[in-house]
Amino acid sequence: MKKYVDVIVPLPIAGQYTYSLPAEMEEKVQIGCRVVVPFGRKKFYTAIVTNVHYAAPEGYETKDIEEVLDSTPVLLPKQFEFWEWLASYYLCTLGDVYKAAIPSGMKLESETLVVYNPDFEASASLPEKEQKILDLLSNDTEQCVTQLEKASGMKNILPVIKSLLDKEAIYVKEELKRNYKPRTEARVKLADSGMDEARLQQLFNDLGRAPKQLALLMKYIELSGWVSRETTLKEVTKKTLLEKAGGSAAVLNGLVEKGVFEIYYQEIGRLDKGMLKTTDINLLNPAQQQAYQSVLQCFREKNVCLLHGVTSSGKTEIYIHLIQEVLKAGKQVLYLLPEIALTTQITERLKRVFGHRLGIYHSKFPDAERVEIWQKQLGDEEYDVILGVRSSIFLPFKNLGLVIVDEEHENTYKQQDPAPRYHARNSSIMLASMFGAKVLLGTATPCVESYFNAISGKYGFVELKERYQDIQLPHIELVDIKELAHQKRMQGPFSPRLVKEIKEALERKEQVILFQNRRGFAPMIECHTCGWVPKCKNCDVSLTYHKGLNQLTCHYCGYTYQVPRSCPACGSVELMNRGFGTERIEDDIKLIFPEARVARMDLDTTRTRTAYEKIIADFEQGKTDILIGTQMVSKGLDFDHVSVVGILNADTMLNYPDFRSHERAFQLMAQVAGRAGRKNRQGLVILQTKSPDLPVIRQVISNDYEQLYYDQSAERQIFKYPPYYRLIYVYLKHRKEDVLDMAADAMAAQLRSGLGSRVLGPDKPPVARIQTLFIKKIMVKVEQTASIAKVRDYLLAVQRAIIEDERFRSLLVYYDVDPQ
């Protein structure tokens, strides 16, 4: 009887596809393994098997699987269950989830771009097919799989590509250029293992006429410790030797040919970076001990607990104690951090305690490294603790016991684009429940929804109000800049009071942080004379200015433009960089304090992970006096010598048209303020605003989260927002504006017939055209008590009906559930 498999393909299409298995593969395939399948016209994809059966599908002829890629599953049953939940809750397809969940290197397809690795040196000769592909790539070092298929005349080369990837002869091209670290390292040793003083002297004489070779040899003797007669010589890498001796590879090769040196290759696991000494964990102080016990107590009755602890109360210490308990019970821990908070500071702190049991999953790591972690988690020596960003909820856990969501209020836990538009905090609660695991949400400024769940008893609730060692919370001083601007007493963005405080801090050799909220999405160009801003011709957005490239790019469609020499609207040549404002601030501060060492931390200066870490390290080590930054400066950083924090303009946060804007502003300001003042003195925060009378400003000053919560939640109840109502945004896209308008009206009308006044719109979203597609948005507000599952089913049914209408054939519909 013929065997079939159902698979998920990495495409945004609903449902799964059935393929037949050629006889020779029948025994090889298991649920959760990857297979290569033909799809569409001459395209191949890596698909994942979700079922193996004997039932031929009705209505269509199945195609055969091309190849089975795994002998054991890479997707575990619980994960698959989690994927299904995600797809149904966030109203997207399993293909969407698959694409987000699995690192690129594990889901090759015809369009995958692969890149030649110039550092690769084969340890044995490659199979013919692999060599052929590699040769093609060595000529033209970046090609997509289809291109290579054509050039080689081979059909379906995904298995060949996979094998080359495993050997790291090639790698998958990623958006960002990342430092790629080869996994094997070339090292140098003396060919003559019995080398002694006399023979070495002879060698020196022989090389007398080849000074470069001689220099290299002498450097080797030095680096390997041969001179000091160590019993075992130190290993010397080819790279270090050439660098230190200032020699070239040709010189080294000369010595290899003369039989002086031998080159050998050593595997260097990227993940295990040498032996780690672990330290004992810190003892908790009485307040922390009490909080810790309360969390444990909560977990006896509830699955989720909110830990509301002021900044620097030692929440991380409590997490560490909890992790240790869970590890003792033989279970795994997932420790989630928002992207921008995952710094060396926290990784090193945890590495010191958990050593090799800790793995780190970061989106700025090379893809190959993420593949390696994935594979490791499937094996027998998996990490017990994963510290990671949003996407680490997809890693294959076997025995999850605890999830920690640090800075749980951070909106970067929500993925905006593309689908799945999931929230990692909320999703991890579901993931944990599948494992019977507990979830701890930690923050100094809870999101209104979590706080609501905590005080209503749905979650456990623990508070920690003391800072560790009673370090005082900073003193926040309000400065009304509206009045000052009126009197022309502002120096650029700085009030006289702020200038005075910065000056005094610098005199005391203390540090300053200046915080400027990020206004738009990205830096822009603006005409100084008429205010003209360049826009994308395909999308309804302003273009992003890349200073380094001196280019304009569209953030949505990727289209690039030259920077115009003059303004097309008025002819003025005064086009200026509007930036985040941080650049301006940097210039202004340098004028006032020319001696001060100033650094800027924003999207522009932190494109790579290393650049980001360097700014932090320099500030930590006191190499910088003033740090200017956007929200990035507020997260997960402990600095010891910051005595003044300036919030330059609170109003940009408060005026943002969103029901969460005051909540967000409070969170941001509280977090930024928390950077001021460490061990022995109280820090000072200067809060500059034009609206000193807003309640939220008072709440920031008195650090009164409860009052903020009561105000905000009262407002949300009246205006029907979370936590009292759930939101789903329905987005419709079409090339033609009139068709879109008709479709949106039709869909809204149908939705209203079932959901009544819960449906609002359609409206034009702030960005109303992307990639030449017009966009409309319908908002659905559902009361907490209603069945959200029924609403989802209804939405999908209406969508199907609309799509079936001849007129709306190429209409795109997608959803944003629990939008942020």
510 binds, among Zn ion, ligand ADP, none (CB under 5 to 8 A by kind): none
Closest distance to ligand ADP from the beta carbon of 404 (Å): 11
CB 146 within 8 A of CB 161: no
The span of 240-248, 400-408, 548-556, 609-617 binding Zn ion (CB under 5 A) equals: 548-556
Q: Is 643 in the site for ligand ADP (CB under 6 A)?
A: no
Q: Give 322 or 817: the residue with its C-beta nearer to ligand ADP.
A: 322
311 binds, among ligand ADP, Zn ion, none (CB under 5 to 8 A by kind): ligand ADP
Q: What track of x and - describes contact with Zn ion for positions 556 through 585 (by CB under 5 A)?
A: xx-x-------x-xx-x-------------
567 binds, among Zn ion, ligand ADP, none (CB under 5 to 8 A by kind): Zn ion
Q: Give 307 or 567: the residue with its C-beta nearer to Zn ion.
A: 567
CB 444 within 8 A of CB 674: yes
Q: Which of 259, 251, 441 is nearest to 337 (CA)?
A: 441
> CB-based contacts of 333: which residues, under 8 Å, 6+ apart?
323, 326, 327, 384, 385, 386, 400, 401, 402, 403, 404
Q: How many DSSP H helices and E strands does the chain contain?
A: 25, 34
The span of 15-23, 181-189, 326-334, 547-555 binding Zn ion (CB under 5 A) equals: 547-555
- Is residue 138 classed exposed, middle or buried when 0-12, 13-18 and 19+ CB atoms within 10 A define those classes? middle
Q: Give 311 or 415: the residue with its C-beta nearer to ligand ADP.
A: 311
The span of 11-19, 312-320, 558-566, 783-791 binding ligand ADP (CB under 6 A) equals: 312-320
Among 112, 311, 377, 688, binds ligand ADP (CB under 6 A): 311
288 binds, among Zn ion, ligand ADP, none (CB under 5 to 8 A by kind): ligand ADP
Size of the site for ligand ADP (CB under 6 A): 15
Residue 567 marked ligand-binding: yes
Among 468, 619, 729, 808, binds ligand ADP (CB under 6 A): 468
Among 79, 93, 143, 288, binds ligand ADP (CB under 6 A): 288
Closest distance to Zn ion from the beta carbon of 740 (Å): 17
Q: Is 285 in the site for ligand ADP (CB under 6 A)?
A: yes
Among 16, 316, 542, 699, binds ligand ADP (CB under 6 A): 316
What is the spatial distance between Cα 327 and Cα 704, in angstroms, rounded to a whole number? 36
Among 313, 495, 511, 699, binds ligand ADP (CB under 6 A): 313
> CB-based contacts of 59: which residues, under 8 Å, 6+ apart?
none
Q: Give 16 or 312: the residue with its C-beta nearer to ligand ADP.
A: 312
Closest distance to ligand ADP from the beta carbon of 356 (Å): 22
Q: Is 343 in the site for ligand ADP (CB under 6 A)?
A: no
CA 566 to chain centre: 37
CB 369 within 8 A of CB 361: no
Taking every pair of C-alpha atoms in the chain, what is the biggest distance, in angstroms?
A: 97
* Amino acid identity at 406: D
Q: Is 638 in the site for ligand ADP (CB under 6 A)?
A: yes
The span of 23-31, 193-201, 276-284, 389-397 binding ligand ADP (CB under 6 A) equals: 276-284
Residue 298 marked ligand-binding: no
Residue 144 marked ligand-binding: no
Closest distance to Zn ion from the beta carbon of 531 (Å): 7
Partners of 189 in beta bridges: 262
Q: Is 292 in the site for ligand ADP (CB under 6 A)?
A: no
Q: Is the dihedral of CA 268, 269, 274, 275 positive or negative?
A: negative
Q: Is 538 in the site for Zn ion (CB under 5 A)?
A: yes
Q: Is 451 in the site for ligand ADP (CB under 6 A)?
A: no
CB 612 within 8 A of CB 619: no
Residue 447 marked ligand-binding: no
Which one-letter DSSP state was computed for residue 410? -
Q: Is 456 in the site for Zn ion (CB under 5 A)?
A: no
124 binds, among ligand ADP, Zn ion, none (CB under 5 to 8 A by kind): none
Q: Is the dihedral of CA 194, 200, 206, 209 positive or negative?
A: positive
Side by side, which strands form the sheet with 511-515?
475-480, 684-689, 642-647, 511-515, 626-629, 598-601
Closest distance to ligand ADP from the beta carbon of 306 (Å): 14
CB 57 within 8 A of CB 388: no
> CB-based contacts of 165: which residues, under 8 Å, 6+ apart?
105, 108, 114, 171, 172, 368
Which one-letter DSSP state was computed for residue 52? E
CB 332 within 8 A of CB 397: yes
Closest distance to ligand ADP from the beta carbon of 444 (Å): 7
CB 214 within 8 A of CB 252: no
DSSP for 685-754 reads: EEEEES-TTSHHHHHHHTT-HHHHHHHHHHHHHHHT-TTTEEEEEEEEEESSHHHHHHHHHHHHHHHHHH
In the three-class reduction of DSSP (H, G, I as helix; E, B as strand; rest coil), residue 11 is classed as coil
Specify the pairing of strand 113-116 against strand 544-546. unpaired
Q: Is 554 in the site for Zn ion (CB under 5 A)?
A: yes
Interface residues for Zn ion in 517-536 (CB under 5 A)? 527, 529-530, 532, 536
Closest distance to ligand ADP from the beta carbon of 312 (Å): 4
Q: Is 315 in the site for ligand ADP (CB under 6 A)?
A: yes
**Sites of contact with ligand ADP (CB under 6 A):** 282-285, 288, 309, 311-317, 468, 638
Annotated binding site: 527, 530, 536, 539, 554, 557, 567, 570
Which residues are known binding-site members for Zn(2+)? 527, 530, 536, 539, 554, 557, 567, 570
Residues near Zn ion, by CB under 5 A: 527, 529-530, 532, 536, 538-539, 554, 556-557, 559, 567, 569-570, 572
